[in-house]
């Protein structure tokens, strides 16, 4: 943004003083734009906002701002652009965003080239000879790609090991499904890992098989995670630093200045703590380690865990993460009613499966409530949501954790009769209406059919029940594209142009709330973030258009112009 400097401070700017220094020494006033405070149930505009020492010191009329700012202050003319509180990431996987940015992009159009098997094979063959491909193979020992999706491929199927053998027969190859819950490996990798006809399926996972019982290379859930997590664990400091740098940019350019790492491994926690120790974060990072991993209780003793939700070097451990099922688009989510079309190898009536018994789920919920750790839980299928509700109910009765802000993550097939239980248990919901855009048509034709497909991510009903939801990208499942998240949450338009569940649409202002004020509450940070209120952090995002003043169907065309963290510009559109 073009800045006008008052008084003799003009000369200092051109000597290279940083934006952070300005925030620490002098006030900065933003004016002449659409400044939306996000306070209250209806939009509130102010003429100016003043930031000083990283915090908001005034939001109101321009005349009042001029008096408060003082003589030597920075004037930022918005030129009609829109300023909002910075966006807060409802749920995603920070480190994995950095990781996937370095592997082959196999996403379907318009996000990538993955339209069919041949495009995947060609992309992987080109990638393995690139600088990134060689770097990743040297560090991890695999040729890797991310983002293929059988529902969007022309074949409407997963590639198999023989397909990936066209990429290499002498090196291991793995491609990751867009859901992150499945993957495919080549024949060399299966032989290297000892996966054969006699290999039993792991608990909570599956090796998909050929007619003769031999594995075909497609791995579900625990079978896939058993390969992926060890690969991720091979990252050294050089690779991890690169992942962090790339992920920070990806979030900052989309206006997300508070970011979640939503299923952190113990090794990844070490990576994040090391980065924080070295002051590498310029965004606020909140991690939630996987509660099922051995050593998680010890990891929660980290100096980066704070029961009062305080950051240290822009990093904190926010609580723990539990996963109870898989992905509906990959047909591994746990449903109470059958999938419309069962996945390959399954009979009609297939409902998916959970990943653990009720006894184990109850035990993990009890562990979180006993220690007063905020608990986030991945539950896509309504049967998994039932299991989660029972576990939270049991843990609350046993340990009495009144302000737990337990979160139902995704809730894709949340039933209407389950919503009152969320309310009763004072649970929050971080829904994933991006599915309406990416997989809405697939839900109708293959996953759920009508009318069940119309009710995925039922934002309207959950809000009307009194729950202030968040809406997320689940990056790297989808890009952390804040405006695409907003568009899908408000409009629910599929790729074919169909409105999926029109009665579950919400207003644009409510959509912005899911990214700001309501998201701050989910993080226990409502006193410092989420609205343009005196005393809160000067975390801002500047957009080229006002979401409240354009056709809602054009929300995805809005561009982030600038992201400002505590008064410092951390990203600016060229």
- Residue 344 confidence (pLDDT): 83
- Residue 1 confidence (pLDDT): 55
Dihedral over Cα of 419, 423, 425, 426: its sign? positive
Please return the burial class of 354, using the count of CB atoms within 10 Å of its CB with bins 0-12, 13-18 and 19+. Answer: buried
Segment holding 15, helix H or strand E = none
Task: Kindly report the CATH number assigned to the domain that includes residue 574.
Answer: 2.30.40.10
Q: What is the average pLDDT across 528-552?
A: 98
Query: What is the per-residue pLDDT across 293-333, written as a single tens digit (0 to 9) for each?
Result: 999 999 999 999 999 999 999 999 999 999 999 999 999 99
Domain total for the chain? 3
C-alpha distances (whole Å) from 448 to each of 123, 243, 383, 453, 456 are 32, 36, 14, 5, 10
Question: Do 143 and 28 share a structural domain?
Answer: no
Query: What is the per-residue pLDDT across 84-135, written as a single tens digit (0 to 9) for each?
Result: 999 999 999 999 999 999 999 999 998 899 999 999 999 999 999 999 999 9
Q: For residue 385, is it within any domain? A: no
Question: Do 149 and 24 share a structural domain?
Answer: no
- Residue 242 confidence (pLDDT): 93
Query: What is the per-residue pLDDT across 328-357, written as a single tens digit (0 to 9) for each?
Result: 999 999 999 999 999 988 999 999 999 999
Question: Do 306 and 264 share a structural domain?
Answer: yes
Looking up tokens 């929050």, which residue turns up? 428
Question: Do 293 and 201 share a structural domain?
Answer: no
Q: For residue 453, is it within any domain? A: no
CB of 327 closer than 8 Å to CB of 182: yes
Question: Do 82 and 8 share a structural domain?
Answer: yes
Q: What is the average pLDDT across 412-416?
A: 98
Question: Do 101 and 75 share a structural domain?
Answer: no
Query: What is the per-residue pLDDT across 193-234, written as a single tens digit (0 to 9) for each?
Result: 999 999 999 988 999 999 999 999 999 999 999 999 899 888
- Residue 487 confidence (pLDDT): 98
Query: Residue 331's closest CA among 160, 179, 511, 212?
Result: 179
Task: Kindly report the CATH number assigned to the domain that includes residue 102.
Answer: 3.10.310.70
Segment holding 66, helix H or strand E = helix 62-69
pTM equals: 0.90
C-alpha distances (whole Å) from 338 to each of 106, 331, 332, 384 are 29, 10, 11, 14
Question: Do 136 and 204 share a structural domain?
Answer: yes
Dihedral over Cα of 384, 386, 389, 395: its sign? negative
Full domain range(s) for residue 573: 1-86+531-574
Q: For residue 32, is it within any domain? A: yes
Query: Residue 326's closest CA among 226, 225, 233?
Result: 225
Q: For residue 91, how many C-alpha atoms fall within 13 Å in the half-sphere facing its CB?
A: 28
């Amino acid at each position: 943004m073009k800045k006008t400097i008052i008084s003799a401070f003009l000369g200092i700017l051109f000597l290279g003083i940083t934006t952070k220094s300005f925030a620490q020494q002098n006030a900065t006033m933003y004016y002449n734009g659409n400044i939306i405070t996000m306070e209250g149930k209806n939009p509130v505009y102010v003429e100016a906002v003043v930031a000083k020492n990283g915090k908001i010191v005034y939001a109101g009329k321009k005349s009042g701002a001029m008096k408060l700012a003082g003589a030597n202050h920075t004037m930022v003319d918005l030129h009609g652009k829109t300023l909002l509180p910075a966006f807060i990431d409802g749920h995603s996987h920070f480190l994995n965003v950095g990781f996937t940015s370095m592997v082959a992009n196999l996403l379907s159009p318009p996000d990538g080239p993955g339209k069919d098997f041949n495009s995947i094979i060609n992309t992987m063959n080109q990638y393995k000879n690139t600088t990134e491909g060689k770097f990743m193979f040297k560090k991890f020992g695999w040729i890797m790609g991310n983002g293929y999706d059988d529902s969007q491929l022309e074949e409407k199927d997963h590639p198999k090991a023989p397909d990936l053998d066209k990429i290499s027969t002498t090196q291991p190859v793995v491609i990751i499904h867009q859901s992150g819950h499945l993957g495919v490996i080549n024949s060399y990798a299966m032989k290297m890992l000892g996966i054969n006809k006699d290999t039993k399926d792991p608990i909570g996972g599956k090796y998909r098989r050929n007619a003769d019982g031999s594995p075909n290379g497609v791995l579900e859930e625990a079978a896939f995670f058993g390969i992926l997590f060890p690969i991720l664990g091979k990252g050294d400091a050089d690779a991890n630093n690169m992942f962090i740098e790339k992920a920070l940019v990806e979030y900052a350019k989309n206006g997300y200045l508070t970011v979640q790492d939503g299923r952190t491994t113990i090794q990844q926690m070490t990576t994040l703590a090391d980065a924080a120790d070295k002051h590498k974060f310029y965004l606020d990072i909140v991690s939630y380690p996987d509660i099922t991993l051995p050593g998680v209780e010890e990891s929660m003793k980290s100096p980066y865990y704070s029961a009062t939700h305080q950051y240290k070097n822009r990093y904190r451990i926010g609580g723990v993460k539990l996963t109870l099922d898989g992905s509906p688009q990959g047909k591994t989510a746990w449903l109470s009613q059958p999938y419309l079309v069962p996945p390959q190898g399954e009979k009609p009536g297939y409902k998916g499966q959970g990943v653990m018994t009720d006894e184990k789920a109850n035990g993990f919920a009890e562990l979180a409530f006993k220690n007063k750790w905020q608990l986030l839980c991945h539950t896509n299928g309504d049967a998994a949501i039932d299991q989660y509700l029972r576990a939270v109910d049991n843990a609350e009765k046993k340990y009495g954790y009144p302000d737990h802000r337990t979160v139902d993550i995704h809730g894709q097939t949340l039933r209407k009769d389950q919503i009152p239980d969320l309310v009763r248990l004072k649970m929050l919901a971080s829904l994933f209406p991006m599915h309406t855009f990416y997989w809405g048509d697939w839900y109708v034709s293959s996953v759920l059919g009508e009318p069940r497909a119309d009710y995925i991510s039922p934002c309207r009903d959950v809000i009307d029940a009194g729950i202030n939801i968040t809406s997320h990208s689940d990056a790297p499942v989808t890009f952390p594209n804040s405006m695409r998240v907003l568009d899908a949450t408000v409009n629910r338009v599929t790729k074919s142009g169909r409105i999926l569940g029109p009665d579950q649409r919400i207003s644009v202002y409510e959509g912005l709330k899911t990214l700001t004020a309501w998201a701050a509450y989910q993080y226990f940070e409502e006193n410092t973030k989420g609205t343009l209120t005196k005393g809160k952090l000067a975390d801002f995002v500047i957009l080229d258009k006002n979401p409240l003043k354009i056709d809602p169907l054009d929300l995805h065309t809005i561009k982030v112009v600038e992201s400002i963290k505590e008064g410092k510009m951390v990203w600016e559109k060229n």
